[in-house]
Chains A and B, each alone.
Chain A
Amino acid sequence: MSAPLTDPAALRDPLWLRLGAQLRNLAPFVTLIALVLLFSLLSPSFATLGNVSNILQQVSITAIIAVGLTYVILCAEIDLSVASVANAAGILLAFFTLQDSSVNIANLPLPGPLAMGLALAGALALGAVTAFGVTWIGIPSFIMTLAMLQIGNGIGALLIRGQIAYNVPDLVVALGSGSIGPVPWIVLVAALVLLVGHLVLAYTRFGRYVYMVGGNREAAEHSGVAVKAVVAAVMMISALCSGIAGMLGVAYFGSAQQNQFDNYLLDAISAVVVGGTSLFGGQGGIGNTIVGVLVLGVLNNGLDHIRMDSFLKILIRGLVLLMALVVNVYAQRLRAQRRGIG
């Protein structure tokens, strides 16, 4: 988690003040525990090993996308193209894989590793275009990635032409839908991506630059940080993560089709923000994202384990997200007040 209390003066503060300072980190964690307890009490089928595996599997794709998005949001930018880049990468992978004759698309079958490489390269290329637009041309990331969202969807539509492609390389099938013992491979891949994401953010100079750029861009520039390069890099990291998620997602869902990943945009942003990473940049991290992803995963899963009006479930998801956003903004204000007092 971010913002450890290392200031000795802060440690002398009353407990409630110290807890208040950690509100951003504590609130999502408490929410997660509360949800787990609540659903365990309400449904005997919720707290089972099989269902834990189920939840982890369900959140894996969101988690991989959210890693890249965490970098972007930490830099006080946004990437609205994550889902469409994931979709384009998945469709690109299917395009470069031999499809059944019933799938009426003109594709270009290539060996599996090459198809995977090209799909990832495609995602990276889209990320590079976004990075160029945001940093060199100076288009706000909200608008630039909105355009990239359309471009990603367009590439997907052009290649798949309204059809459904079922085949992807065997390695991707194994990683997306296979298991090693009781543990699905996709969970392990997500864990690896989260770990690498955390290590880079927490223990490298680049990671510190990401926090600096998000915390105070002007100060970072004056300190000699190549802000444009950092922003460009996070945009490409985001696209890479989306590309990996898109390839695995196609295997997980068993098919590649247009607009398949649309809901991952809001899910991934929600996961990052619900976890406590600040929408204004500079605060948060992969730890927060893990908690956020799990809060959403447990919520989505748990609501399906209890008897409830189907129409109410969507509202409840929205209310929990709203609650998290209120805590996020409130924590931001509290921190600003403390800084003002200090």
Chain B
Amino acid sequence: MDQQDPPRGGRRALLTAAATAAATAPLLGGIGLDPAFAAEMGRSEKPLRAAFSNAGLQATWCAQGKAAAEYWGKLFNVDVTWFDGELNATRQRGAIDNMASQRWDFVAIQAFGIGTLTAPVRRMIDAGIPVIDMDTLIAPLDQVNVHSFLAPDNEFMGASVTEALMQAIGGEGTVIMTQGALGHTGAQGRARGFDSVVKRYPKVEVLDTTPGDWDVTKVARIWDTHLTKYPKISAAYFHNDDMALAAYNVMRAKGRTDIKIGGCDAMPPALAAVADGRMHATVRNPSCRIHGGAIMAGVAAVVAGEKTGPEGIPKHVITDGPVVTKGNAAGMAWMQKHFLI
């Protein structure tokens, strides 16, 4: 690949470079890279070709990630081609097979089904293409030699929102956790985080942990039953915001809006819900940081020759986001608008 030269072409190019560096700094700070390194890494003079795929663009988190990758791609002169996973493991496998039959400077993938993409990902790695794993494991890290795995600590996310809920109910009462799909590593981590916090509160009783499978229709049905069955529910933790907001609608219909709700992802609708008090808290799963970070990692690998390891990018970069309550919801919305977190 081309060696990076300093930006050329007078004031416009200088302004572009300055704007790029300024916009990049917070994101790089967020994923643990030194902004000075970005200046060294810079844009590629020749456009780089990158292939991206995430679980499915129907999900707002993924759609936001796509927008972020394209935004950061433009800044770093990366032409991003998208292969939609369509929230379907076999469709995504087909898309990744097609991705693997073409030539890319680097690729970034969030697997919808863990273990379903291993063969084509190995083919790309064997062909020397840096593969960046985003948010969910493509396969256990000892099975595929990805360039890096950018993901939040799901256990931390589950624990931090649960802690916020425990504080809100004064450490006593009844609580329900509505989980994502049980096979999803994110859901498993969030459940572990929830459990680790709840067990420290002996006066808190967990009433139910039925999985909602990320399916808002199913969640509405489950919560219809919960609200009929349990006259007193102090708090509820949901493995994502979409499920939390779906359950809130059921609660509102039954006049049970006294339940403290915690979610996960901190997407704009949830930020609005936190700001107006429908939800108590959520935690940011930083879609923009992960997808934008994948652009940085790919550019660094291709342009600056960055390798995986102590001198380069860690095998696993933890991209945690903060807990969002009324106090920081507005700032979080602004940062998302500009693809910073």
Given contacts A255-B115, A255-B116, A258-B183, contact A50 B101 (CB under 8 A): yes
Closest partner residue, chain B, to A264 (CB atom): B90
Query: Is B211 a contact partner of A162 (Cβ separation < 8 A)?
Result: yes
Q: Say whether B306 faces chain A, with CB atoms less than 8 Å apart.
A: no
Closest partner residue, chain B, to A53 (CB atom): B101
Given contacts A58-B97, A253-B90, A305-B102, contact A162 B181 (CB under 8 A): yes
Could you tell me the distance between the alpha carbons of A161 and B211 in the complex, rounded to whole angstroms? 11
Q: Say whether B128 faces chain A, with CB atoms less than 8 Å apart.
A: no
Q: Which residues of A contact B139 (CB under 8 A)?
A: 254
Q: Say whether A25 faces chain B, with CB atoms less than 8 Å apart.
A: no
Q: Which of A164, A166, A262 has the most CB of B within 10 A?
A: A164
Query: Is B115 a contact partner of A164 (Cβ separation < 8 A)?
Result: yes
Closest partner residue, chain A, to B114 (CB atom): A164
Q: Say whether A70 faces chain B, with CB atoms less than 8 Å apart.
A: no
Interface-facing stretch out of A235-243, A270-278, A306-314, A322-330? A306-314
Query: Is B88 a contact partner of A300 (Cβ separation < 8 A)?
Result: no
Could you tell me the distance between the alpha carbons of A302 and B18 in the complex, rounded to whole angstroms? 40
Closest partner residue, chain B, to A249 (CB atom): B90
Q: Mark B153-164, 1 if CB is under 8 A from A, else 0.
A: 000000000000
Q: Say whether A283 faces chain B, with CB atoms less than 8 Å apart.
A: no
- How many Å from the CB of A202 to the closest CB on chain B? 30
Question: Which B residues from 127 to 153 make CB contacts under 8 A with A?
Answer: 139
Could you tell me the distance between the alpha carbons of A305 and B94 in the complex, rounded to whole angstroms? 12
- How many Å from the CB of A87 to the closest CB on chain B? 10
- How many Å from the CB of A321 to the closest CB on chain B? 15
Query: Is A54 a contact partner of B98 (Cβ separation < 8 A)?
Result: yes
Closest partner residue, chain B, to A162 (CB atom): B182
Q: Say whether B106 faces chain A, with CB atoms less than 8 Å apart.
A: no
Query: Is A300 a contact partner of B57 (Cβ separation < 8 A)?
Result: no
Give the tally of cross-chain contacts (CB within 8 A).
Answer: 87
Q: Which residues of A contact B113 (CB under 8 A)?
A: 164, 253, 255, 257, 260
Given contacts A310-B66, A310-B83, contact A260 B116 (CB under 8 A): yes
Q: Say whether B317 faces chain A, with CB atoms less than 8 Å apart.
A: no
Q: Which residues of A contact B94 (CB under 8 A)?
A: 58, 300-301, 304
* Chain B interfacial residues counted at CB < 8 A: 33
Could you tell me the distance between the alpha carbons of A150 and B114 in the complex, rounded to whole angstroms? 23
Q: Which residues of A contact B84 (CB under 8 A)?
A: 310-311, 313-314
Closest partner residue, chain A, to B63 (CB atom): A311
Could you tell me the distance between the alpha carbons of A249 and B113 in the complex, rounded to whole angstroms? 14
Q: Say whether A216 faces chain B, with CB atoms less than 8 Å apart.
A: no
Q: Say whether B39 faces chain A, with CB atoms less than 8 Å apart.
A: no
Q: Which residues of A contact B83 (CB under 8 A)?
A: 304, 310
Could you tell me the distance between the alpha carbons of A261 and B113 in the complex, rounded to whole angstroms? 11
Could you tell me the distance between the alpha carbons of A300 and B101 in the complex, rounded to whole angstroms? 14
Partner of A253, one of B82, B103, B115: B115
Query: Is A54 a contact partner of B101 (Cβ separation < 8 A)?
Result: yes
Given contacts A45-B102, A310-B84, A314-B86, contact A254 B182 (CB under 8 A): no
Closest partner residue, chain B, to A51 (CB atom): B101
Question: Which A residues from 146 to 170 make CB contacts under 8 A with B?
Answer: 160-164, 166
Q: Mark A15-57, 1 if CB is under 8 A from B, else 0.
A: 0000000000000000000000000000001001011001001
Q: Which residues of B contact A51 (CB under 8 A)?
A: 101
**Other A-B pairs, 13, CB within 8 Å; known A164-B114, A260-B116:** A45-B101, A54-B98, A54-B100, A61-B90, A177-B119, A252-B119, A253-B93, A253-B115, A254-B118, A257-B116, A262-B90, A263-B91, A264-B90
Q: Which 9 A-B pairs have the closest CB atoms?
A: A162-B182, A255-B115, A304-B98, A253-B116, A310-B82, A310-B84, A254-B118, A162-B183, A45-B102
Residues of B in contact with A (beta carbons under 8 Å apart): 57, 66, 81-84, 86, 88-91, 93-95, 97-103, 113-119, 139, 181-183, 211
28 pairs, CB–CB < 8 Å, chain A vs chain B: A54-B97, A54-B101, A58-B97, A161-B182, A162-B183, A163-B182, A164-B113, A164-B114, A164-B115, A164-B183, A166-B115, A252-B119, A253-B90, A254-B116, A254-B139, A255-B115, A255-B116, A257-B89, A257-B183, A260-B89, A260-B113, A262-B90, A300-B98, A304-B95, A307-B81, A310-B66, A311-B57, A314-B84
